[in-house]
Amino acid sequence: MNLNMGSMDRVIRVVVAAVVAVLYFTGMISGTIAIILGVLAAVFILTSVVGTCPLYLPFKLSTKSKTPA
């Protein structure tokens, strides 16, 4: 699988996931919204680790910088 996420994209996703975790563990979100945001945060972490966003693939998007050859 080709990498299609740049480093800034990956960092932003990890930060958003961390914010969701903090909101959950401080009790500011709960119930269904906490589950939905928790799943979204898990997807953000997974895609950041892998470096590929499946939603970018059909649209041929990439936030990864192109290095000169």
Q: What is the pLDDT of residues 4-61, one digit of tens each?
A: 999 999 999 999 999 999 999 999 999 999 999 999 999 999 999 999 999 998 998 8
At which residue do the structure tokens 């960092």 appear? 11
pLDDT band at 1 (very low <50, low <70, confident <90, very high): confident
At which residue do the structure tokens 């401080």 appear? 26
Question: Helix count (H) and strand count (E) of the chain?
Answer: 2, 0
Q: 7-25 and 31-50 helices cross at what angle (nearest 10)? A: 150
Contact 5, 64 (CB under 8 A): yes
DSSP 25-46: HTTSS-HHHHHHHHHHHHHHHH
Spell out the domain ranges in the chain: 7-50
Predicted model pTM: 0.86
